[in-house]
């Protein structure tokens, strides 16, 4: 019962976060400064997820050739830069991880 | 009967927009499938029933919050901690929603309530890029959002279901969780076309590493804010 209550509460919170700005914007217009800041949100948040995944896969910082995720990630960054293609980035990154 | 007005190449119709949205998620779906599979496996290992694991994917519909939620529930964390964690981990969606919001104001309440439910990292990534494209008019862009959201929803529910039934059959040594980081790399790197964007990415990444010891994923929030701050500051130079 507690588990179900937890899950439903998590759902309500998540939905509220996603919905509130869309509905409340009717009354609260965004300033241009805030709009400028929001432009950086995807790059900043996703980079904050990516870098720890690459340089601290085991929980501690590991910048060495023994870190397969770092090497595969660097190769994936290169592929993403050259091809601008998410699929190729994933394929090359996963194959590199398995081979390294 | 009146004839439908001809749709020029510059103004795609509803169906074309919907399909473009679906297609925009195809490469991303490849990165999401392993994540959904692993979530199904992890959720069962943490002690959730198959019904609870699947319901969480449908009700919460937010990958990282679900992973952390399953882990915390397995550790017997109290309910307020789980709810607070969900709030912190998902607060970034507030910014996604605020960014897309102005372009959704002409839509009915029903549309906005539906699109808010479908607003994930993945759907946001391709939809935000599509809305930023000034070449296409706003008229039917919400159909693109709907297509992207539905495609991601279907992928997430299906891969969760398969993960739940495969259980622990997938060895962790495959490292399939890495596919999600690779997906984000594929999304972010092409966006790094200006110095402020590049600086925002580097500062956010380094801050996240330095602040990783903070509880409840707060390091992620601080890192995001630091990256945004540096990006804005550099653009003003």
Confidence of residue A26 (pLDDT cuts 50, 70, 90): low
Same domain, B60 and B102: yes
With beta carbons less than 8 A apart as the criterion, state whether B153 and A41 touch. no
Q: Which residue has the higher pLDDT, A30 or B220?
A: B220
Same-domain pairing of B108 and B198:
no
Q: Is residue B74 in a domain?
A: yes
In the numeric block, the tokens 């990154």 are attached to A93
pLDDT by 10s per residue, chain B, length 237: 445 544 445 678 999 999 999 999 998 898 889 888 878 887 887 788 899 999 999 999 998 789 878 877 876 777 887 887 788 778 778 888 888 888 998 999 999 999 999 999 999 999 999 998 888 888 899 999 999 999 999 999 999 999 998 865 666 677 766 877 887 898 899 999 999 999 999 999 999 999 988 775 677 778 888 999 999 999 998
Residues B178 and B198 in one domain: no
Residue B158 is part of which domain span?
14-189
Instruction: Give domain status of residue B6, yes or no.
Output: no
Confidence grade of residue A53 (pLDDT, cut at 50, 70, 90): confident
What residues of chain A lie within 8 A of the CB of B95, using their CB? 38, 41, 45
Establish if B8 belongs to a structural domain. no
Residue B42 has a pLDDT of 76
By the 10 Å C-beta count (0-12 exposed, 13-18 middle, 19+ buried), A82 is classed as exposed
- Sequence-distant (6+) residues with CB within 8 A of B160 are B36, B37, B39, B40, B53, B54, B57
Q: Is the pLDDT of residue A5 over 60?
A: yes
Distance from CA of A65 to the nearest CA of B (A): 18
The answer to whether residue B120 is domain-embedded is yes
**Chain A residues whose beta carbon lies within 8 Å of the beta carbon of residue B185:** 50, 73, 76-77, 80, 89, 93
- A56–B212 C-beta distance less than 8 A: yes
Contact B27, B186 (CB under 8 A): yes
Contacts of B48 in chain A (CB under 8 A): 3
Same-domain status, B231 and B128: no
Q: Quote the ipTM score.
A: 0.82
Judge if B203 and B150 occupy the same domain: no
Q: Quick one: B203 and B224 in the same domain?
A: yes
CB spacing of B95 vs A6 below 8 angstroms: no
Number of domains composing chain B: 2
């Amino acid at each position: 019962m507690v588990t179900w209550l937890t899950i439903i509460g998590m759902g309500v919170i998540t939905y509220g976060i996603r919905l509130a700005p869309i509905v409340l914007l009717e009354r609260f217009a965004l300033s241009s400064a805030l709009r400028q800041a929001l432009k950086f949100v995807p790059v900043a948040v996703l980079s904050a997820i990516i870098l720890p995944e690459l340089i601290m896969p085991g929980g501690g910082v590991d910048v060495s050739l023994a870190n397969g995720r770092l090497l595969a990630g660097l190769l994936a960054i290169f592929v993403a830069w050259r091809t601008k293609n998410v699929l190729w980035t994933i394929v090359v990154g996963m194959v590199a991880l398995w081979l390294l | 009967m009146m004839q439908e007005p001809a749709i020029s190449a510059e103004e795609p119709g509803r169906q074309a927009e919907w399909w473009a949205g679906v297609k925009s998620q195809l490469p991303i779906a490849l990165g999401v499938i392993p994540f959904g599979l692993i979530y199904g496996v992890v959720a069962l290992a943490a002690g959730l029933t198959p019904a609870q694991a699947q319901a969480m994917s449908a009700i919460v519909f937010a990958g990282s919050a679900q992973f952390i939620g399953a882990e915390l529930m397995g550790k017997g964390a109290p309910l307020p901690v789980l709810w607070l964690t969900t709030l912190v981990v998902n607060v970034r969606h507030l910014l996604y929603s605020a960014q897309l919001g102005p372009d959704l104001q002409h839509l009915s309440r029903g549309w906005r309530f539906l699109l808010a439910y479908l607003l994930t990292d993945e759907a946001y990534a391709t939809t935000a890029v599509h809305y930023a494209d000034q070449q296409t008019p706003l008229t039917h862009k919400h159909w693109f959002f709907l297509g992207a959201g539905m495609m991601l929803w279907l992928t997430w529910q299906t891969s969760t279901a398969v993960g739940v039934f495969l259980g622990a059959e997938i060895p962790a040594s495959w490292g399939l969780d890495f596919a999600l980081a690779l997906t984000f790399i594929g999304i972010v790197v092409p966006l790094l076309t200006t110095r402020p964007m590049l600086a925002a990415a580097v500062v956010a990444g380094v801050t996240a590493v330095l602040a990783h010891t903070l509880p409840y994923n707060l390091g992620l929030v601080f890192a995001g804010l630091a990256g945004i701050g540096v990006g804005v500051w550099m653009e003003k130079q």
